[in-house]
Structure 1
Amino acid sequence: MVEAVLFDVDGTLVDTTYLHAVTWWQAFRQQGHVVAMAKIHRAIGMGSDKLLDQVLPGGRDRDADDAMRDAHTALYAQYWGRLRAFDGAADLLRACKGRGKRVVLASSAAEPEMRALRAALDAEDAIDETTSASEVGQSKPAPDIVELALERAGVPAARAVFVGDTAWDVEAAERVGVPCVGVLTGGWARDELEAAGAVAVFDDPRDLLEKLEKSPLH
């Protein structure tokens, strides 16, 4: 029986993937790096440390890395007041909570950004616990966030399900032994998520909500 549902937030519950992509693109340009937007998109979902290694491999100056991170944070923060949750996202959280499951937001966002994401979700009554970047050593696809979310949920891996939108989510959950359900809202294809190991894939939170009783979350 599933006793807890762990949710990625960026790109899964709140429509942020392409905002992150474009603000990283701008941050890279500020430091003289011209990077194709598609390449950046494929790294969204990783933490900034791993994203930089993925997008800009090779030796880099630490000060320049910090400048790009700071620029991305500042550029992305301009959108915080306009973030929107996907259709059905809040209802999905409430449906899980109403069925007696622990609901944990397993995000590697920093605390100020997390507040903006929670405001966009507007589902505080359904959220039991959250995580943030400052609480773990490594970001996804490392399993640290999922491990912490499990700890906060207070259930073993076999009684939890993770919901995410990227192959990085699937990998992180798999490394902890938690099955991962995918949604297509982050721009990854169904067959890519399935090939990564997702146990089921749905179009979006509304689709998952409508099929909840037959999904791995039930």
Structure 2
Amino acid sequence: MSRPIAVLFDIDETLVHTGGSGARSWTWAFDRLYGVVADIGEHTSAGETDPQVGRETFRAVIGREPSCDELGRLYTAYLCHLAEDIWNSKDYRVLDGVEETLGRMADAGVTLGLLSGAMEGAARIKMEPGKLGRYFVFGAYGSDSTDRDDIARLAITKAARLHGRELSRSEVYIVGDTPRDIDAAIKANATPIGVASGRYTVPELRATKAEHVLTSLTEPFPDL
């Protein structure tokens, strides 16, 4: 394959480990607004978008559908807590090889984007302690759509607009640590790259038909 023109990265467990900051912030938001204990890990799975996490957890712990106003207040409470908690998260870290990989790509002229199920505000907050936002030109987020496949297509559309033409499958890579990331890349007609830096193993990611699977971003990135 030729060198990619754009590479789109997931955030959680692909670029950074937040040390549970997101889960703590959802728990705080539900407790503050409704006085209930909410563990998102009991009601959602890896790779779901923030709107999915909020809505599904609400259904589980409150027992009904949330209104638009309730979701708005919940998202705001979550983001406000996350903005503080992320700086106090003792286990927060930028994952191995991330800065070196992003730096090499930037030096090679690759346009870097974010493709995250997090709301845009949450995505930016999660990268602040690691100062990773400086590498990324654009992004598509869970606040753009609740469907990760739609987010992937939107990110590719943005990349194409930046370059003034349609981009082929071999020109756009999507990098993530979950089967959902790989599936979204395939459906959006991008080259899927798995990285086993989260809860999924190399064999599990290979089973998803990823084009390449890395154990971490310390390994040489394909075609760069």
TM range, normalised to the smaller chain? 0.7 to 0.9
Q: Is the 8 A contact 1:11 1:17 kept in 2?
A: no
1:39 paired with 2:42, answer: yes
Q: Is the 8 A contact 2:6 2:110 kept in 1?
A: yes
Aligned to 1:60: 65
Amino acid at match of 1:139: T
1:74 paired with 2:80, answer: yes
Aligned mates of 2:93, 2:42 — CA distance in 1:
24
In structure 2, the CA distance between the partners of 1:198 and 1:65, relative to structure 1 (3 Å rule), is: same
Amino acid at match of 2:210: A
In structure 2, the CA distance between the partners of 1:120 and 1:27, relative to structure 1 (3 Å rule), is: same
1:201 paired with 2:213, answer: yes
SS where residue 94 of structure 1 aligns?
helix
Residue ranges of structure 2 left out of the alignment (5+ in a row) = 161-166
Aligned to 1:178: 190
Question: TM-score w.r.t. structure 1 length?
Answer: 0.75
In structure 2, the CA distance between the partners of 1:188 and 1:54, relative to structure 1 (3 Å rule), is: farther
Aligned to 2:50: 48
Q: Could you tell which deviates more after superposition, 50-59 or 84-93?
A: 50-59
Task: Kindly state the Cα deviation for residue 80 of structure 1 after the two structures are TM-superposed.
Answer: 3.6
- Number of aligned residue pairs: 208
1:4 to 3, 6, 14: 6
Aligned mates of 1:53, 1:135 — CA distance in 2:
13
Aligned mates of 1:156, 1:102 — CA distance in 2:
14
Aligned to 2:146: 139
Q: Is the 8 A contact 1:22 1:37 kept in 2?
A: no
Question: TM-score w.r.t. structure 2 length?
Answer: 0.73
Q: Is the 8 A contact 1:183 1:205 kept in 2?
A: yes
Aligned to 2:138: 130
Aligned mates of 1:103, 1:67 — CA distance in 2:
32
Q: Is the 8 A contact 1:184 1:202 kept in 2?
A: yes
Q: Is the 8 A contact 1:47 1:139 kept in 2?
A: yes
SS where residue 205 of structure 1 aligns?
coil
Q: Which has the higher helix share?
A: 1
Aligned to 1:18: 20
SS where residue 196 of structure 1 aligns?
coil
Aligned mates of 1:3, 1:19 — CA distance in 2:
33
Cα distance per residue 1:32-89 (max 9 Å; x no partner): 555556435x534322222245444674232444443333222212134355322321
1:99 paired with 2:108, answer: yes
Q: Is the 8 A contact 2:18 2:126 kept in 1?
A: no
SS where residue 193 of structure 1 aligns?
helix
**Percent of residue pairs bearing the same amino acid type:** 25
In structure 2, the CA distance between the partners of 1:37 and 1:13, relative to structure 1 (3 Å rule), is: same
Aligned to 2:164: none
Residue ranges of structure 1 left out of the alignment (5+ in a row) = none
Task: Kindly state the Cα deviation for residue 135 of structure 1 after the two structures are TM-superposed.
Answer: 7.2
Q: Is the 8 A contact 1:14 1:85 kept in 2?
A: yes
Aligned mates of 1:115, 1:107 — CA distance in 2:
10
The equivalences for 1:146-157 within 5 A come to 146-154=152-160, 155-157=167-169
SS where residue 163 of structure 1 aligns?
strand
Task: Kindly state the Cα deviation for residue 159 of structure 1 after the two structures are TM-superposed.
Answer: 1.6
Q: Is the 8 A contact 2:50 2:142 kept in 1?
A: no
Aligned mates of 1:167, 1:189 — CA distance in 2:
10
Aligned mates of 1:6, 1:68 — CA distance in 2:
28
